[in-house]
Structure 1
Amino acid sequence: MTQRKRQSTARQHDVTSTQEDNDVTFTQPSTSQVQRALENFTSDQVDYKTAEVVQYFLVKQQKKIPVRRADLIKNVVKEYRTVYPEIMKRATEMFEQVFGLKLVEIDTKNHVYILVNKLEAVDGCPQISLSNPKTALLFVVLGVIFMKGGVVREALIWNILKKLRVDPGEKHPEFGDVKKVITDEFVRQRYLEFVRIPHTDPIEHELRWGQRANLEVSKVKLLEFMGELHDQQPQSWSQQYRVAHSSQPSNNSNT
């Protein structure tokens, strides 16, 4: 009996692994395939599944966690995968019309999505709110990276934070474990990239802007924030000022 149970468990594990592999290698159906598949579902069924997808994204959005297509299909879409493009089309429209959010694919190779707030904008560029203490911490880190040309060694970040009386080696009353927030939480949220520097002993890392930061953070607003932090006018950093204003998106688009 025990051996049979082990064999059954092994078979179930194989099936689960195969399903997960299928999710990872999911091929998006063509328009004609979707149209044929839609005949197997009512419009209400597709709307209900769309609502589940929207809810899944919104839950992840609360913690700024990116969504992988493979996880979305495995955990939510499931047997509706043949009409996945139609579900995503309806979900995208709902995000924009109801929630003022834009669905963005930040990784086309691994199909990873995030939601960007379209309502809070500065000069046409969405930007994150500074009302949350962790967001202020993030702005400091992004600001240092921006001011230093786009990439910095982690040691520089820790030294600057210490000058601001935020010691990464101690538990902070508002941020908690500062190093973990920066190198884990902000990285998972795609605000930062934390990359190992080759051939360093002891091991060192460098920090860069992540994909979400490039989509959500206005460099003009960030430079204003750094000016307030250092009691200087943004124009006093002439190179960064030029970069910030040249990176602003055009407002001529009607999209």
Structure 2
Amino acid sequence: MSQRRVNRSNTEEVEENIESAINECVRYIVIREGSKIPIKRAEIAKHLNSTCQTPSNQVNSVIIEANKVLKRVYGYKLIQVESKSGIQYIVVLNEEGNSQSSCIPDPLQRKMLIAALTHIYMTGGPVKEEEMWKFLSEAGLMEENDHTARKVLTNTFTRQMYLQYSKVGEGEIARNVFEWGQRAEEEVPKMFILNKMAEAFGKEPNHWHEQYREATVEASS
């Protein structure tokens, strides 16, 4: 009888420790979410070990359960992303909102991001760096040779994975280009972009046939 009480007590203690680790994992992710910078799995594991003494073989289970809480309570979800430095996660909206990327507090930066994503999408592929600067300058969203604004695209939005900024080609023909990043793929529906275009030009979204077809396929998947 005494042994059964001890076993039950040990089981309850393990369950309490796991529950504590899940809550701490959720708290840590919500705090980190504000920066939009991908969170390394190793960082989560280190934090859980230091705060809850969570062993490494329980980290995956804790993250899975924490993801359920994030969806249910905060409307977020964890997406695993590819990285040369190991497993990383981004925190994205679980449900599409009416105002995409509204979590970017600066209105001008928000407009720059949506404009950049729109330009990439409507041109049908990667956009050369110099073409992006020209487009945003003509749209009145940045001054010519505005290095601070350019850094927002090449650094901030790239680290947040809204944009992908990379070099293509070799030697003299090498060029830096912009593409949609994985966070944008998760958070910004193509139909949202098309609806904005249609509103701006007084047309129906299906005016742009290829983009409309892609957006429709995405929306139905």
TM-score between both structures, scaled by the size of structure 1: 0.71
The answer on whether the counterparts of 1:161 and 1:168 sit within 8 Å (CA) in structure 2 is no
Q: Hey, what does 2:62 align to over in structure 1?
A: 87
Per-residue CA deviations over 1:136-157 (Å, capped at 9, x if unaligned) read 2111101101111121101111
Number of residues paired by the alignment? Answer: 205
Q: Hey, what does 1:247 align to over in structure 2?
A: 218
Q: Hey, what does 2:125 align to over in structure 1?
A: 150
Give the counterpart of 2:175 among 204, 223, 228.
204
3-state SS of paired residue (1:91): helix
- One-letter amino acid of the structure 1 residue matched with residue 87 of structure 2: H
Within-5 A mapping of 1:167-246: 167=143, 169-170=145-146, 177-201=148-172, 204-246=175-217
Within-5 A mapping of 1:112-123: 112-121=88-97
Q: Does 1:129 align with 2:102?
A: yes
The answer on whether the counterparts of 2:120 and 2:180 sit within 8 Å (CA) in structure 1 is yes
Give the counterpart of 1:139 among 114, 121, 134.
114
% of aligned pairs identical? 28
Q: Hey, what does 2:29 align to over in structure 1?
A: 57
- One-letter amino acid of the structure 2 residue matched with residue 118 of structure 1: N
The answer on whether the counterparts of 2:128 and 2:175 sit within 8 Å (CA) in structure 1 is yes
Structure 1 pair 130/82, CA: closer, same or farther in 2 (3 Å)? closer
Q: Does 1:111 align with 2:87?
A: yes
The answer on whether the counterparts of 1:168 and 1:178 sit within 8 Å (CA) in structure 2 is no
Q: Hey, what does 1:43 align to over in structure 2?
A: 15
- One-letter amino acid of the structure 1 residue matched with residue 17 of structure 2: Q
| Structure with the bigger percentage of helix | 2
The answer on whether the counterparts of 2:96 and 2:187 sit within 8 Å (CA) in structure 1 is no
Q: Which runs of 5+ in 1 are unaligned?
A: 1-37, 172-176, 251-255
Q: CA RMSD in A?
A: 2.7
3-state SS of paired residue (2:172): coil
Structure 1 pair 40/237, CA: closer, same or farther in 2 (3 Å)? same
Compute the displacement of 1:128 (Å): 3.1
TM-score between both structures, scaled by the size of structure 2: 0.81
Structure 1 pair 76/201, CA: closer, same or farther in 2 (3 Å)? farther
Structure 1 pair 204/131, CA: closer, same or farther in 2 (3 Å)? closer
Q: Hey, what does 1:28 align to over in structure 2?
A: none
